Structure 1
Amino acid sequence: MTIKKLFQLAAGFAIAGLAACSGGGSASTAPKVKVSIIPLPARLTETPDSFLIDKQTVLVAASEADKQTAGLFNEYFKNISGFALKVQDSAARNMIVFSSMPAAEKGMPETYRLKIGKDQVTVEGEDAAGTFYGMQTLIQLLPLQQAPSYWIAGVEVFDQPRFSYRGLHLDVGRHFFPVDFIKKYIDLMAMHKMNTFHWHLTEDQGWRIEIKKYPRLQEVASRRKETMEGHYEDQQYDGKAYGGFYTQEQIKDVVAYATARHVTVIPEIEMPGHSLAALTAYPHLGCTGGPYEVGTRWGVYDDVYCAGNDTVFTFLQDVLDEVMILFPGKYIHIGGDESPKTRWEKCPKCQARIKAEGLKDEHALQSWFIRRIEKYLNDKGRQIIGWDEILEGGLAPNATVMSWRGTEGGIAAAKQHHDVIMTPGDYVYLDKYQSLGKTEPIAIGGFLPVSKVYVYEPVPETLSPEEARYIKGAQGNVWTEYIKNSEHVEYMVYPRAIALAEVLWSPKDKRNYDNFLERLKTDLPRLERKGVNYAKHVFEVRGIVESDGKGGVQVKLDSKLDGGKITYTTDSSAPTAQSSAYVSPIPVTQSGVVRAAVFQGENQYGNEFRQAFVLHKAVGKTVTLAKPPHENYNPGSPFVLVNGIEGVKEFNDNQWAGYSGGTMEAVIDLGDSTEIGVLGLNTLGNKDQWIYPPKQVNFYVSKDGKHFTEAGERKEIDGRGIIKIRERLKKPVNVRYVKVVARAVSKIPEGAPGEGSPAWLFVDELIVQ
């Protein structure tokens, strides 16, 4: 069953006499849909009037910009209906008018008014972009099936964006995507009123933009000998050469395509780090002179542009000169993130630069590097954007900061009165897992469902109203280490990008997640019509494991699918439409797997819920932590440490309590005196991502919760993936309380990723047997 069919009833497809309509039809048989618009308009009023669009309807547009918008509407309409409408300068009635306000009358950019009456539809924008967005709203009022005529519900809309910057990013350095897909990506952005495409064009693993003055960028830097296969920690490679780049003509074509859809394309040319591919083509640009090799593994490389070498700046200025011709927009993104100082610390040229410029250290040298590039671009009438690392060592005078490492960088920049684009990883990194389903394609880690994207608020509460003005918007980022093809990009981006579009366009006080889901049911068939391989998790069955209030655990199930029936099993077998119907929380009484799915008729929708449980004596009991986990890896309650669920190695299941250095100390109250013989915990080893097993674990027992006796100790713990620590007591004891103390590695050793930083300690299930 297609998603369109699945949601016809829920989306309000009031279709009368469709068979008669398709054969010639009349006004009485023309299809009509209920009003459902994403992103939610600032003001919308439904009226009793409706407009009938048929083969006699005329599109009226006077200016060239409005004719372009009318043409895009006509292109969409013909794809749906099978026929195009006439475009004229004027008409008497039965017309759809596209009109941008004269320059002298303009108000806030991108504002539009839409009015649908009996004889006329008017789409009036404060500028051409506003008219275009009004046209996108009009499209959402059209039915999707082919017919000779359509009713459009009567509405009056006044609409304008909350934020001026509404962006989506795409990394084409790790994996390369064809021009046709880039255009489709831009189309989908424009469909939901996103206006900025951040095109990440250069990376350690590949240079993707043709620079005519430096042909080895195309010949050498655009190709790597092989690519990582599987997850980073597997350290497997496919042994296959990989490459690709966009010609300048292709880039001009994409930019023109985006401009027609009021999308600004911002190119990113990484510097001083993430530049290994360029160094491979031109080794003299690095501190060591090479030889170098285009990156084949993911992560951060020590080799960066040499800040003490003037030829580096000649090269980058030449590159930027060609980039500026191709991209006429205001901004050039220069990266600035994850640039190790290892080579600079030992490079005579870089050290001489530090001395000559009177700089404090290598961080100040990076700031000097960024400032020099900024001055060059400013002199050419352009502005730079950089990731929040450009704050380190002093911020360039006119730079816009893209805050990705949480919100702190954005807050700091706004307080310095610099423009900010918010891109915090916890809320808008669309390369993270979006479902806890066990069949999800590989992703970088973490868990970011649609619901979490939707509740994101780009303006930090700590900013004053004056400082908040510098938050220009936000952006969803799509890093493609684990995203190999266009279909996978679509799967990761949609519908999460739709949620972000509403966050950035609609008034904050009007946003409501349940209402958004109702409108999304109408919007998803539009994605299907466009051939988008979107993820279908948002309506799948969801399970919440919680305390039953009696010292045990239970599973509560839910689904947002209208008319869906949830069924489940507790014997590890696959649920069917005939399995036990869910009516109340399911008690967990034995080790095994609880599985559940939602059905409409015999058809299952989305991933099934599947959760394995390991029953032991601490499951469901009360846990007290001496110190809460770090905010980035806090599952919300200590209960997850004794819920019978063993977290997965990808740590994307919200089961792990993470500590950055320091100590995890937990006390379990078993409720009554209980005989125990084994104590344990699960921890994680993933040193490439700075996660280390604890350097020491101690177990204690007590009868009264005040006086504890040591029951076991573990040191010299090592390993990769999930590490299960189990300490067997010399003899069973009867106690009520168990204390577990795990001490993190305080400093990552030299030479390892993240050297010198506190190691992450991840702890999951605390075991009592």
Structure 2
Amino acid sequence: MTMKNVFRTCLLMAAAGLWSCSGAHHADAPKGKVSIIPMPASVSEKADSFLLDKQTIIVAANATDKKTAELFNSWLKELTGYELAIKEQGDKNAIILHSGGDSTNGEGYTLNVDNHGITINGNGSSGTFYGVQTLIQLLPVQKATAMYVPGVNITDAPRFPYRGLHLDVGRHFFSVEFIKKYIDLLAMHKMNTFHWHLTEDQGWRIEIKKYPRLQEIASKRKETMAGRYADNKYDGKPYGGYYTQEQVKDVVKYATERFVTIIPEIEMPGHSLAALTAYPNLGCTGGPYAVGTRWGVYDDVYCAGNDSVYTFLQDVLDEVMELFPSKYIHIGGDESPKVRWQKCPKCQARMKQEGLKDEHALQSYFIQRMEKYLNSKGRQIIGWDEILEGGLAPNATVMSWRGIEGGIAAAKQKHGVIMTPGDYCYFDHYQSRGTNEPLAIGGYLPVSNVYAYEPVPAELSKDEAKYIKGAQANVWTEYINNTDYLEYMVYPRACALAEVLWSPKEKRNYDDFVERLKWHVKRLDLKKVNYAKHVFEVTGKVVDNRKGGVEVVLDSKLDGGKIFFTTDSTAPTPQATPYTQPLQITKTGTIRAQVFLNGKPFGNEYDQHFLFHKGLAKKVTLTTAPDKSHNPGGTFALVNGIEGIASYNDNQWYGYKGTDMEAIVELDSIQDIHLVGMNTINAKGDWIYPPKQIVFSVSDDGKSYKEVYKQTSFPQNGINKVRGKLENVRGRFVKMNVQNYGKIPAGAEGAGNGAWLFADEFIIE
């Protein structure tokens, strides 16, 4: 009997309860379930399986497949302590890799596992690579000298050709070693594009030999913002870093072996302050300039009327193209203020010379001129959706970040589109409403929202939808200054987006994804990824109980976890009240809840204070709709008893950009009203301004209103709590009119834009 058969007999006897043996394990995903992320297009499980041991070989006939085999071995060695022999021929006890020549869908593959062996047929070499990534996910995560691979037939191919993850290294710099890990994780999840954001106002991060001052000056800043933007504090510590061209070549080679294309981004015409500091003649004023130390948008940009700018950028791009073989070069194009151009004689002369009607057209001229140059070198451009303004460059691909509108407009013009809207794809947003979350830029994007994203807008026809090439997540690093925090922000949200972009739309199911994620995070543990655990910790959903009140539904996806809660503000313990049914809000107070596993707390605690008042869960009419980027959905959040927090990451605030707000609450009957109130935010550094005034009015019939309280001053930074005490007031309908500040004044951050107005919790007592 061969050693392999001894192992097989041993395990069969163990399954029958007749024998105990160690050293070989079944793939220990949930029983009867193959646990793969992203979910393949088609999976058929079999009763048999293949025993992988030291005698197993890998058959790979060409050099590319051999490299893929080596990458498989590097994972296997972590589990078994050994690598498999790689041979060009063989069909027994073998993992056979074969790559076809399908250039139209080279990323597709089939994978077959039975008791004779494992065969992966890739449509192309990338398909074989992705088949191996799937095979890795069929292996156990516990170390063993041999292991069973479950029998399957898998036929798989991606839904979208572009599946990307971005990283901003301009605000904060990350080592080559970490960039390689970032690429490893990308490839592990079958993503194929790394968007490397290399230049910013706060730092230039790539060596350009023709312009050494970019390394010497533009790569360094004297200090960095500390804390929230609105705090306007700095750490006083010099900061810098850049990648040498040799390092870039090494990273590109590393990515290529993992079938990841790196798209470099060289920002223009805005986000260019670091470059202007090194070469001040490229700006409209001539400087002096200083590399940015604060976050946000700077007015100084490349001078569009100066031919030296185009020469400089062409020279830079020549060196960039030598390093990056990608079809696309990203040229930015976002957040480029026009104030310098409006006053610059050279820019105005350029507009007159070219017959351009305004500065938006001048930006289009700038982008199209650079596009023509890149096209002449056989490359194409990608730009943020601002490149639509003033006329889109002929062959440009648009990256739609300010919502989906830019992507819709570009697709209708028959341009390629990569969707990356902030509401679903900005991984610098908060992913939990917990009060102990590390500082982030704002917004709220949990894993469930990422998973719910549909990249193809419903507004597009079937033909127009073909121009949606895929999507990517963006990771901007204003507040992300170390690798642990970066991994925490990206994973497992990147797992969710990977499935959105790879798996068939009709197969996606969030609850099933979470079940698979429970196993998948053990693979992230093996890769030493500091992923966030919010998916499994206790959550609280606040809902209208349809009986005139509010209730809290607690939940946890943690297997074996038990939830305990308190209502007296004390910390929950396993000795507290066990959760068995929704909790009704009947008085002002705090609910705290925690999930425990084996008696120990897991993840963040749920901690929510509630205000009990007459308006709780009552009918609300919003006569002016909030901006969709700051809309909790419906009107319930305005009267759910929860006051939004200062970091506005809790999905409670109603945001209005440049417009007023009007809301009406209808009580059950005409009754005494002793107080009206609401909360608003003053955070001018984030473009959030207090209102000009707030007026409350009361009516018996909802038609004729009488003003009962007015406030025009909101001096406190952060949250301003508006509370109007009333005497001898009765009514059934209470109206709140909130007047937006209007345009942000000159000299302030965001000058000329409409100010944001934030409002929450319409209080009636």
Q: TM-score, normalised by structure 1?
A: 0.95
Q: 1:16, 1:31 within 8 Å by CA — same for their partners in 2?
A: no
**What do the CA deviations read for 1:649-683 (whole angstroms, capped 9, x no partner)?**
22111111122233322222232343233222111
* Contact 1:593–1:611, Cα closer than 8 Å, also in 2: yes
CA drift of 1:424 comes to 0.4
Give the whole-Å Cα distance in 2 for the aligned partners of 1:345 and 1:21: 79
Partner Cα distance (1:501, 1:165) in 2 = 11
**Aligned twin of 1:460:** 457
DSSP-derived class of the 1:537 partner: coil
Tell me by how many angstroms 1:228 deviates.
Answer: 0.5
Aligned length: 749
SS in 2 for 1:502: helix
> AA paired with 2:66?
K
- 2:47 corresponding residue in structure 1: 48
Give the secondary structure class of the aligned counterpart of 1:575: coil
Q: Are 1:651 and 2:614 an aligned pair?
A: no
Correspondent of 1:174 among 147, 171, 174: 171
Q: Say yes or no: does 1:226 pair with 2:223.
A: yes
Name the counterpart of 2:761.
765
1:690 aligned to 2:696?
no
Cα distance change, pair 692–57 in 1 and its aligned pair in 2 (3 A):
same
Instruction: Report Cα offsets for 1:34-57 as digits up to 9, x if no partner.
Output: 511111111111112211100100
Query: 2:676 and 2:104 mapped to 1: Cα distance?
Result: 68
Secondary structure of the residue aligned to 2:710 is strand
> Are 1:565 and 1:598, in contact at CA under 8 Å, matched by a contact in 2?
yes
What residue identity is the alignment partner of 1:39? Answer: P
- What residue number does 2:200 align with? 203
Would you say the 8 A contact 1:621–1:642 is kept in 2? yes
Determine if contact 1:81/1:145 at 8 Å carries over to the other structure: no
Match for 1:349 among 346, 351, 355?
346
> 2:27·2:138 contact (CA, 8 Å) conserved in 1?
no
Give 5+ residue unaligned stretches, structure 1: 1-13
**CA displacement, residues 78-98 of structure 1 (integer Å, 9 cap, x when unaligned):** 111111111111124100011
What residue number does 2:742 align with? 746
1:244 paired residue number: 241
For the structure 1 residues 691 and 57, does the alpha-carbon distance in structure 2 shift closer, same or farther, using more than 3 Å as the test? same
Of 162, 166, 187, the residue aligned with 1:165 is 162
Please tell me whether the aligned partners of residues 108 and 126 of structure 1 are also in contact (alpha carbons under 8 angstroms). Answer: yes
Instruction: Give the whole-Å Cα distance in 2 for the aligned partners of 1:691 and 1:350.
Output: 32
Structure 2 CA distance, aligned partners of 1:109 and 1:40? 18
Instruction: Say yes or no: does 1:39 pair with 2:38.
Output: yes
In 1, Cα distance between the equivalents of 2:504 and 2:547? Answer: 43
1:129–1:262 CA contact under 8 A, matched in 2: yes
Question: In the superposition, relative to structure 1, how do residues 327 and 311 fare at CA in structure 2: closer, same or farther (>3 Å)?
Answer: same
Partner residue in 1 for 2:8 = none
Q: 1:610 aligns with which of 602, 607, 610?
A: 607
Alignment of 1:547-626 (within 5 A): 547-626=544-623
Q: Counterpart amino acid of 1:764? A: D
Contact 1:331 1:383 in 2 (8 A): yes
Counterpart CA distance in 2 for 1:215 and 1:325 is 17
1:662 has 2:659 as partner:
yes
Is 1:403 the counterpart of 2:391? The answer is no
Percent identity of the aligned residues?
65
- Alignment correspondent of 1:11: none
Take 2:679 and 2:28, find their aligned partners in 1: how far apart are those partners? 56
| 1:415 lines up with 2:434 in the alignment | no
The letter of the residue matching 1:739 is K
| CA–CA separation in structure 2 for the residues paired with 1:31 and 1:354 | 66
* Structure 2 counterparts to residues 312-323 of structure 1, below 5 A: 312-323=309-320
The more displaced of 677-686 and 145-154 is 677-686
Residues 355 and 638 of structure 1, relative CA distance in 2, 3 Å threshold? same
Distance (Å, rounded) in 2 between the aligned partners of 1:99 and 1:545: 53
1:60-71 paired onto structure 2 within 5 Å: 60-71=59-70
1:514 aligns with 2:511: yes
Q: Deviations over 1:365-387 (max 9, x none)?
A: 11111111111111111111100
State the partner residue of 1:429.
Answer: 426
Instruction: Give the structure 2 partner of residue 3 of structure 1.
Output: none
Task: State whether residues 58 and 94 of structure 1, in contact with CA within 8 Å, keep that contact through their aligned partners in structure 2.
Answer: yes
Separation in 2 of the partners of 1:491 and 1:221? Answer: 29
Does the 8 A contact of 2:26 with 2:149 survive in 1? no
Q: 2:750, 2:103 → 1: CA distance?
A: 52
For residues 369-409 of structure 1, the C-alpha deviation after alignment (integer angstroms, 9 at most, x for no partner) is: 11111111111111111000001111111111100000111
Which AA in structure 2 matches 1:694? P
Match of 2:86 in 1: 87
In the aligned structure 1, how far is the partner of 2:186 from the partner of 2:259?
Answer: 10
Structure 1 residues 595 and 114, CA gap change in structure 2 (3 angstroms): same
In the superposition, relative to structure 1, how do residues 112 and 30 fare at CA in structure 2: closer, same or farther (>3 Å)? closer
Q: Is the 8 A contact 1:30 1:149 kept in 2?
A: no
For residues 47-86 of structure 1, what are the alpha-carbon distances to aligned partners after superposition, in whole Å with 9 as ceiling and x for unaligned?
A: 1221110010011001001111111111110111111111
Q: Which moved more, 1:630-639 or 1:592-601?
A: 630-639
Of the three residues 479, 486, 489, the one matched with 1:489 is 486
When structure 1 is superposed on structure 2, of 590-599 and 335-344 the one drifting more is: 590-599
Q: 2:337 aligned with 1:330, yes or no? A: no
Task: Give, in whole Å, the separation in 2 of the partners of 1:106 and 1:388.
Answer: 30
Measured after TM superposition, the shift of residue 471 of structure 1 is 0.6
What is the alpha-carbon root mean square deviation over aligned residues?
A: 1.8
Q: Post-superposition shift, 1:30?
A: 5.6
CA 1:758–1:16 in 2, change beyond 3 Å: closer, same or farther? farther
Given that 1:665 and 1:739 are in contact with CA atoms closer than 8 Å, whether structure 2 keeps it comes out as yes
* Partners of 1:320 and 1:92 in 2: CA distance: 49
- 1:136 to partner: Cα distance: 0.3
Corresponding residue number in structure 2 for 1:140? 137
AA matched with 1:517: V
Structure 2: which amino acid aligns with 1:35? Answer: V
Distance apart, 1:15 and its partner CA: 9.6
Bigger mean CA offset, 487-496 vs 630-639: 630-639
Shift of 1:20: 6.4
Match of 2:366 in 1: 369
Given residue 389 of structure 1, which amino acid in structure 2 is its aligned partner?
A: E
Within 2, Cα distance between the matches of 1:272 and 1:323? 17
- The yes-or-no answer on 1:642 pairing with 2:639 is yes
On the 8 A contact 1:422/1:473 being kept in 2, the answer is yes
1:533 aligns with 2:530: yes
The residue number in structure 2 matching 1:6 is none
Question: CA separation of 1:324/1:642 partners in 2, compared to 1, >3 Å: closer, same or farther?
Answer: same
Distance 2:152 2:336 in 1: 52
Tell me the residue number matched to 1:98. 97
1:65 alignment partner AA: T
CA distance in 2, matches of 1:327, 1:675: 71
TM-score, length basis structure 2:
0.95
Q: CA deviation at 1:616?
A: 2.9
Shift of 1:235: 0.9
Distance 1:408 1:92, change over 3 A: closer
8 Å contact kept, 1:693–1:719:
no
Alignment correspondent of 1:546: 543
d(CA) in 2 for partners of 1:604, 1:142: 30
Distance in structure 1 (CA, Å) of the matches to 2:214 and 2:89: 52
Distance 1:32 1:608, change over 3 A: closer
CA distance in 2, matches of 1:728, 1:518: 51
- Cα deviation 1:278-311 (Å, max 9, x = unaligned): 0001111101010000000000000000111111
Q: CA deviation at 1:741?
A: 1.2
> 1:87 and 1:663 mapped to 2: Cα distance?
68
- Measured in 1, the distance between the counterparts of 2:520 and 2:412 equals 39
Distance 1:134 1:709 in 2: 70
Quote the residue 2:4 is aligned against.
Answer: none
For 2:576 and 2:683, how far apart are their aligned partners in 1?
Answer: 40
Q: Distance in 2 between matches of 1:703 and 1:16?
A: 77
Letter in 1 for 2:246: E
Shift of 1:153: 0.4
> SS where residue 321 of structure 2 aligns?
helix
